[in-house]
Structures are given as structure tokens and as C-alpha cells.
Structure 1
């Protein structure tokens, strides 16, 4: 996993593995947000598997999936609700771009 720090509170990466969750837990991540639809790619780890391991590590996991370039206002609203009050957040998708874009959209004044 190549973790890119967007702010002190938020980092992003490509698809994470179960082992990456240990690294994220050690870094103090309290919330993981997945922006990837399940089965987007062959052999992709299912969100349910990530969520189960995250729960074992006391990390909340939220799934807000959307295809690349197809983020909707409802996705941004769901993201804002999910991150409200969270301390350290990590978002992931296939490359990190959607996870970065949704953060930017949620933090842009309209």
C-alpha cells in the first residue's frame, strides 16, 4: 500500500489488503472509507472482508462505492456524514483518485 497523506486527518491509497489494515491500525486510523464497488476488478478483495478485519481492529469501515468519474452529490453527502467526528480517516479505491476526489468535494464550499 502506498499511503498518500492529504491532510493530517485524511490519507488515501489504492486497494488495501487485510495486512494493510494492521498498518493502518498502528497509524491510529479510526475510520476507513471504501469508494470501490465490489467486483470492479477480478480477484478484488470484497469490502465485507475488509470491514470484518477492520472491526476486529476497532476501525470503523464505511462503503460509499461509485465508478470512476461518476461521483454523485449523494455520495458526497454520505461521505460527509460518515467522517463527521472521525479523528484519523483513510480512504481507498483502485488508485486513490476517487478517495481524493470525494474528500475534495466534501471540503469545497459551494
Structure 2
């Protein structure tokens, strides 16, 4: 699996996941996955619906909170904060590299 960064206890960020990795995510003890990468951002990227189906098949809860711009970051920070409260932990959130997810986490925590 790709490298992960712990944002807080029970919340990690990582880069793009594949459908095949969702079982590995569950095997590592994660209970939820949040997708922060919008569909169609680059050719060959898996669609959220495919990732969500694989995650649910692996027993993971899911949320799709796409962020494509700084405006999206501000607009989606509340939804991300709510997901952090509502989803069972540990949570693995992802985007292309993990950096956007980390920025979204900081925005959600700051307010």
C-alpha cells in the first residue's frame, strides 16, 4: 500500500488507492475510507463508484468529499469535519498524493 501520514490518532492520509487495495486497507484495521479526489482528475484514475463498491465489499464505511480547488477546500471542510465525527475509526482518507487531504483536515480542524 502507499505511504500513510497520521493526522491524528485514528485518522490517516494517503495517496490514490485502487479498488484492489481496499481489502488491504481493511486488513490493516481501517474501518472507514474518505475519498477526497474528484472523479476524472487524470486519465486512468479509478472512479469513486468503483472504489466505493470495493471498499464496501471489504466491510469499510465510505464518504466521498471531493476537493479540486481552494474554494472546494473551504466549502468541504465542514463535511470533512462531520465525517471525522461520524465514521468509525480508524479512518483512511485519500487524494492523489495525500497532501490535499492533509490540507482539508487542517481546514476542518481550524473551523
User: TM-score of the superposition, structure 2-length normalised?
Assistant: 0.88
Structure holding more helix per residue: 2
Q: Deviations over 1:53-87 (max 9, x none)?
A: 11111101111112143334330111112221432
Q: 1:82 and 1:100 mapped to 2: Cα distance? A: 14
Query: Which ranges in structure 2 are unaligned for 5 or more consecutive residues?
Result: none
Q: Cα RMSD over matched residues?
A: 1.5
Contact 1:68 1:98 in 2 (8 A): no
Q: 2:85 and 2:43 mapped to 1: Cα distance? A: 33
Q: 2:105 and 2:35 mapped to 1: Cα distance? A: 12
Q: 1:71 and 1:106 mapped to 2: Cα distance? A: 12
Aligned to 2:89: 87
Aligned to 2:10: 9
Contact 1:14 1:96 in 2 (8 A): yes
Contact 1:29 1:59 in 2 (8 A): yes
Aligned to 1:101: 103
SS in 2 for 1:84: helix
SS in 1 for 2:63: strand
Contact 2:73 2:104 in 1 (8 A): no
Superposition misfits of 4+ residues, deviation over 4 angstroms: none
Q: 1:103 and 1:34 mapped to 2: Cα distance? A: 13
Q: Tell me the matched-pair count.
A: 109
SS in 1 for 2:13: strand
Deviates most, 45-54 or 23-32: 23-32
